[in-house]
Amino acid sequence: MAKTKSGSYWVTSSNAHAMNSTSVDDLEINFRPKVKAFIKALEDAWITVTVSATKRSDKRAYLFHWCWKIAQGKVAATGVPAMIGVGIEWDHGTTAASKAGAQQMVTGFGLAVPPNSTNPPALNSSHISGKGIDMTLTWTGTKKIKKKDGTTVDVPFVANVNLNTALHAVGQSYGVHKLKTDKPHWSHDGR
């Protein structure tokens, strides 16, 4: 079977055949109500919540993980293991060409890179099991947000959400934990 080199083709193909869900309803049955309650508390405080990913296929996770690592120079294209059902050729013959093909995918998928994320997208992501969510939260000033126990907390806007410990504590009260090295990612266990 002929393989197709990494690049924008894989973004288009993945978007057609292995798209991320952005629906909270696709989350795992026990995690879903926790996320819904947290989002409700945020929206009740006039915070805009934009969900970019919930459930993810394992094939999409594979593409995300390896394109990120190759583009960031963390692994050589020749060192990437194959995945059954994904006919991608990571090696373009030179390091520069391989990194360029991988970077097209990173850009096309809209993956967070340093400084917004210092970790590659996980191969065994909590998104695959439906226990992870990527969301962007926007507001200005300080908002009063209700924790699960009903107490209200003042939460200032912090441009780097990874440093907003007050917001993390609110999420944690609902069972939604912040991965502090990946700007949009929250999950059942903070990984």
Q: What is the pLDDT of residue 182?
A: 84
Nearest to 114 by CA among 71, 166, 77: 71
* Chain-centre distance for alpha carbon 100: 22
Q: Would the pLDDT of 65 be above 70?
A: yes
Instruction: Give the span between the Cα atoms of 110 and 67, in whole angstroms.
Output: 12
- What integer pLDDT is reported at residue 20 of this predicted model? 83
Domain of 135 in residue numbering reads as 4-187
More confident residue, 153 or 17: 153
- Residue 163's closest CA among 116, 131, 112, 121? 116
Q: How many CB atoms lie within 10 A of CB 140?
A: 9
For the cut 90, the answer to whether the pLDDT of residue 16 exceeds it is no
Q: What integer pLDDT is reported at residue 107 of this predicted model?
A: 96
Nearby residues of 77 by Cβ (< 8 Å), 6 or more positions away: 6, 70, 90, 91, 92, 95, 98, 99, 102
Contacts of 93 (CB under 8 A, 6+ apart): none
State residue 136 phi and psi, 5-degree precision: -110, 130
Tens of pLDDT, residues 123-156:
888 999 999 999 999 999 999 999 999 999 999 9
Number of domains in the chain: 1
Residue 1 pLDDT greater than 70, yes or no: no
Q: Is the pLDDT of residue 60 over 80?
A: yes
Q: For the chain, give the mean pLDDT.
A: 94
pLDDT at 19: 77
* Average pLDDT of the segment spanning 90-112: 96
Rounded distance between C-alpha atoms, residue 64 and residue 125, angstroms: 11
CB within 8 Å of 63: residues ≥ 6 apart: 10, 14, 18, 86, 88, 105, 109
